[in-house]
Structure 1
Amino acid sequence: MASANRLSKDYDVIVCGGGSAGCVVASRLAADPDLEVLLIEAGGMDDAPEVRDPTIWMRNIGSERDWGFASEPCPGLNGRRAPLPMGRVLGGGSSVNGLVWARGHKSDFDLWEAETGDPGWGYEAAVDLYRRIEDWDGPASPLRGVGGPMSITLPKDPIPVVHGLLADACELGVPAVADHNAEAMAGDGCCAIANVNVDRDGQRVSTATAYLRPKIGQPNLTVVTHALTRRVVIENGRAVAVEFEHDGEIRLARARHEIVLSLGAINTPKTLMLSGIGDAAALRRLGLPVVQHLPGVGQNFQDHILVAGCVFEYREPSAPRNNSAEFTIFCKSEASLTRPDLQPILEECAFGSEVTRPAYDLPVDPSACFTLAPGLIRPKSRGHVALTGARPEDPVKVHANFLSEEADVRALLRCVEICREIGHSDALRPFVKRELMPGPLSAREMLTFLRNAAGTYFHQTCTAKMGRDPMSVVDGSLKVYGVDGLRVADGSIMPEVAGGNTMAPCVLIGERAADLIARALATKTDLPSRTDLASRQLDGAAA
């Protein structure tokens, strides 16, 4: 990686954050040899065994490759602080997560198109982008891509219990499919062996390995790791430079054309606010200058909820394989819903929270048990990210507000029922010795269990959403309203969290951002400009 001492004074584009989307943006733009691109990443290189080996991905959580965020106490979680793991390493979440590749439901992209008025975010456009992204070696489908940078496959030898899970989910009316990312993603639900981003040698494929590594060494691409973005410098309404910390020094890199924030749903709004972009009253209370009044910055925080979980003891030990999460279900908590709102997933260990693990004395040996973890992918609960001070060193507060909406509680209680039904099914009797957690509880006890067991699905999103309403932060071209030369490209731009694991949609966001920027730079006619919405928001700040 380049030393910051060798940084040139100016770049055409600066990308802040080398995660699931940021690596894609930097790599795609660097394909043009006439563009000088700088990528700034707070974490280090992705050369750790825990990153490469899909079977031990969970060891990344809580390590130096994790930002270590936690929510404020959530009343819906009985006052617990939920850990909020996020990747702090080249490749971001794609280097530390559970490797499930889920594209998102057709309705997600229909919503993105409706919110922005841009068909480039619609389902047909999304399928085209995914075809470009993927190198899929599973069942052939016109919806899937071959030859793209991301190797996507099916686990070749899933643990035996997976076949029982598939059979029983079918008995409950959830059809088994060979590929949950094909036609099923426009339907009412399915169960399947999960797509995973693993190469032919069984190694993780992140956006760092798939996109960035082939470009490392090009003279027009500079990658600086262990470089913490502090703020964007804005002069006369235009983003012109990035202030960052490297080797204990504060440095400045200037951008001739564009700056892209790809820092994730916690650090992107933090950086925007520290740069003077956010709710004017909140910024003034901290003594920060108001560059652009955008009250939606940091609001609309969303995350899927994962419950730890419905744990069953094996009759015979079964060691985890592949990504240790080889099976997933997309289903509905109520038949009247128009799209799946639940995503239980297999965890090939005894998965418990800091409360439930000791309470149930769960085994440490992962080969002793499996967990069918209830998951909610259409949460109604909303939270927000707030600054605690005007310095980049000051931590943020993440008010996740998990299970603050009664609808989320009802949906997850139903999901626990579904997971327990599957665990006690005839198809699983050859594998299951007994249920360890939660067991047959009263309604009140089950609610207490849920609040003690629920937490993050690692899918924090939506805090700088795209759209056209006054709470939107970016438009359909990902330009920050009212600030020239500044875009956001990460999961924070989702208006609503996608209906499935969020890595794949973040890669798609990176691809779309790169297209939009390249087109703007090629034509010189699509440079960011202030909009009527921004003017209305500025009027609101003055009022």
Structure 2
Amino acid sequence: MTDRNVTSETADFERRARENQVRLTAHLRPAYDFIVCGAGSSGSVIARRLAENPDCRVLLVEAGGSDESESVLDPAQWPANLASERDWGFQAEPNPHLDGRALSMSMGKGLGGGSSINVMVWAQGHRSDWDHYAAASGDPGWGHDAVRQIYRCIENWQGKPDPQYRGTGGPVWVQPAGNPSPLAGALLDAAQELGIPRFDSPNGRMMEGEGGAAYTDLLVRDGRRNSLYRAYLRPLADRPNLTILTDTLVRRVLFDGRRAVGVEIERNGEVRPVMAGNEVIVSTGAINTPKLLMLSGLGDRAELARHGIPLVEHIPGVGKNLQDHVAFCCTWEYHRPLAPRNSGSEATLYWKTRPELEAPDLLFCQVEFPVPSERTAALGVPEHGWTMFGGLARPQSRGEVRLTSSDPHAAPIVDANMLSDPADVEAARVCVALTRELGAAAAFRPFVKREAIPGEGNPVDDRFIRDSAVTYWHQSGTARMGRDDMAVVDAALKVRGVEGLRVADGSILPRVSTGNTQAPCAIVGERAAQFIRDTHGI
């Protein structure tokens, strides 16, 4: 088939899909079989898998807009999405453990959610993560061996063949960073200087042991971002049984007794109910999901009473257990300018604070431009340089999300509580020391003039750790899966104490995964969809 034919077919599909969605959204039904709230990394997967059955009427409701923007589609422009209309723009509470700093908590808003504004990293998580989820839930289907098979089914891997770990026939186009910067290669060489092994990929075998270093796996296809919305759902946008409703806020889940029967939405200033014949699935992210549950009457009894929200079910764990990867940024000045390539982040590393650990508890991300915090910028930011995000892969600190009021438009309170656990401060010291060792390695000498932040000869104390701390934007855990009284969902992601309602996004993870959370959220979506299909025989 010629390129001209491919272009013509693509244009024809785009026209059909656009006309179909205009028609469907202009004439919303009063009821659908399934309502999926949120078109992010999990919601896009679920909507796709349900809509594959032509007999299922699926409504996907997204608060944000289209992903048709160069800042979304061009991998190099991802920083432009932060603090834009494609970012919820959450702000954490001032944190006494960070000397009162209030960190920005960006989360994707629009088709694709976080997968449309992130750095496109595909990190499957460590074996120990998934085996922990299986133990916490009591379901071996969440374990590493089972999940590895799901990854093999959904990937379309473009790197060195690895049939034991990587698949080639799935919807998710995954490739190693193409033509990476020599700076990325320098990081891999620096790691080997320090005795950290190098791998062909940061997934598969590397994440079954103590870690290592590799070029980053990215969701980039033909030089363009290939978000999970684009990979999963966009190809079905011309189907008559799938309605993709953007710029629409889900205000609350509606109940008949303890059964979820629909949602209340707000669109163009109009508030109206839409009913769900089978189930409502909440996939709005680790900050908005607990907010929506609480607005719907699910949460701690005292918290809901404080805001005058009628209680449907007392679930004290809603909003608790907030986790995130905190990073500490060190920056080096280049000898001469070196332009970023791809997403500007092409190499990654996982390692340990202590030799006896069996799994990595640190993660490192190389960024090919200066990224100071608002405080460390005072140390002097070089015009041309690169940054190492050295972070805690296994943070012990826990925060929470609470309501500000019963107003669906009011931002929730996000108490991230980073570095509240002394173990995290100790791990941070080791993390920053290793970051500086990597930057000082011989492999970087052809590129690096000096360490700019914290600065050569400057000791790293706890003040630098507090001042340099930033988030990886991997918020997780606020509606966690489990079997104890603080769990919000069970192993099948059904919300405790009610019927017809599931949660499926990063909020269900009992602990944040080792690495970027995009790929684990795809697994959450795949498992949720399978649970739903099994339940309803579709």
TM-score of Structure 1 vs Structure 2, range by shorter chain: over 0.9
Contact 1:198 1:205 in 2 (8 A): yes
Say whether 1:185 aligns with 2:207.
yes
Once the two structures are TM-superposed, the CA of residue 289 in structure 1 deviates from its matched residue by 0.9
Residue 381 of structure 2 corresponds to 362
Say whether 1:59 aligns with 2:77.
no
Q: Aligned equivalents of 2:184 and 2:289: distance in 1?
A: 38
1:432-458 deviations in Å (ceiling 9; x for gaps): 111111024665x53111111102101
List runs of 5+ in structure 2 lacking aligned partners.
Answer: 1-20
For the residue of structure 2 that corresponds to 1:269, the secondary structure is: helix
Q: Aligned equivalents of 2:72 and 2:154: distance in 1?
A: 21
For the residue of structure 2 that corresponds to 1:343, the secondary structure is: strand
Correspondent of 1:175 among 191, 197, 205: 197
Q: Aligned equivalents of 2:193 and 2:442: distance in 1?
A: 10
Residue 216 of structure 2 corresponds to 194
Q: Aligned equivalents of 1:17 and 1:220: distance in 2?
A: 17
Say whether 1:158 aligns with 2:183.
no
Poorly superposed stretches of 4+, deviation over 3 Å:
1-5, 440-443
Give the alignment of 1:294-305 within 5 angstroms: 294-305=315-326
1:26-47 deviations in Å (ceiling 9; x for gaps): 0110000000000000000101
Residue 450 of structure 2 corresponds to 434
Q: Aligned equivalents of 1:244 and 1:356: distance in 2?
A: 43
1:318-360 deviations in Å (ceiling 9; x for gaps): 1000111101110001112221010111011011011112x02
1:103-159 deviations in Å (ceiling 9; x for gaps): 000001101110111111111111111112110011221111111111100112111
Residue 273 of structure 1 corresponds to 294
AA aligned to 2:433 is E
Give the alignment of 1:48-447 within 5 angstroms: 48-141=69-162, 142-199=164-221, 201-307=222-328, 309-357=329-377, 359-363=378-382, 365=383, 368-440=384-456, 446-447=461-462
Contact 2:36 2:280 in 1 (8 A): yes
Alignment coverage as a number of residue pairs: 516
Once the two structures are TM-superposed, the CA of residue 395 in structure 1 deviates from its matched residue by 2.1
1:439-488 deviations in Å (ceiling 9; x for gaps): 24665x53111111102101001000000000000000000011100000
Residue 18 of structure 2 corresponds to none
Q: Aligned equivalents of 2:316 and 2:26: distance in 1?
A: 38
Residue 489 of structure 1 corresponds to 504
For the residue of structure 1 that corresponds to 2:262, the secondary structure is: strand
Comparing 407-416 and 33-42, the one that deviates more: 407-416
Q: Aligned equivalents of 2:517 and 2:141: distance in 1?
A: 19
Contact 1:385 1:396 in 2 (8 A): yes
1:170-221 deviations in Å (ceiling 9; x for gaps): 121210101110111111010011101111x111111111111110021100
Q: Aligned equivalents of 1:156 and 1:215: distance in 2?
A: 29
Correspondent of 2:537 among 522, 528, 540: 522
AA aligned to 1:183 is R
Contact 1:4 1:246 in 2 (8 A): no
AA aligned to 1:163 is G
TM-score by length of 2: 0.94
Q: Aligned equivalents of 2:404 and 2:411: distance in 1?
A: 6
For the residue of structure 2 that corresponds to 1:222, the secondary structure is: strand
Q: Aligned equivalents of 1:53 and 1:127: distance in 2?
A: 30
Once the two structures are TM-superposed, the CA of residue 392 in structure 1 deviates from its matched residue by 1.0
Contact 1:18 1:92 in 2 (8 A): yes
Once the two structures are TM-superposed, the CA of residue 4 in structure 1 deviates from its matched residue by 4.4
Q: Aligned equivalents of 2:260 and 2:303: distance in 1?
A: 21
Comparing 368-377 and 39-48, the one that deviates more: 368-377
Q: Aligned equivalents of 2:113 and 2:153: distance in 1?
A: 21
Comparing 131-140 and 84-93, the one that deviates more: 131-140
Q: Aligned equivalents of 2:62 and 2:71: distance in 1?
A: 19
For the residue of structure 2 that corresponds to 1:473, the secondary structure is: coil
Residue 53 of structure 2 corresponds to 32
AA aligned to 2:430 is R
Q: Aligned equivalents of 2:348 and 2:125: distance in 1?
A: 13
For the residue of structure 1 that corresponds to 2:278, the secondary structure is: strand
Once the two structures are TM-superposed, the CA of residue 516 in structure 1 deviates from its matched residue by 0.7
Say whether 1:504 aligns with 2:519.
yes
Contact 2:216 2:348 in 1 (8 A): yes
Q: Aligned equivalents of 1:442 and 1:299: distance in 2?
A: 38
AA aligned to 1:513 is A
Say whether 1:459 aligns with 2:477.
no
TM-score by length of 1: 0.93
What do you get for the CA RMSD once the two structures are aligned?
1.2
Q: Aligned equivalents of 1:162 and 1:237: distance in 2?
A: 53
Residue 479 of structure 1 corresponds to 494
Q: Aligned equivalents of 1:262 and 1:438: distance in 2?
A: 39
Contact 1:46 1:208 in 2 (8 A): no
Comparing 104-113 and 310-319, the one that deviates more: 310-319
Comparing 83-92 and 447-456, the one that deviates more: 447-456
Q: Aligned equivalents of 2:394 and 2:478: distance in 1?
A: 16
AA aligned to 2:367 is E
Residue 485 of structure 2 corresponds to 470
Once the two structures are TM-superposed, the CA of residue 394 in structure 1 deviates from its matched residue by 2.5
Overall identity of the aligned pairs, in %: 49
Q: Aligned equivalents of 2:79 and 2:534: distance in 1?
A: 39
Comparing 50-59 and 471-480, the one that deviates more: 50-59
Once the two structures are TM-superposed, the CA of residue 5 in structure 1 deviates from its matched residue by 4.1
Residue 11 of structure 2 corresponds to none
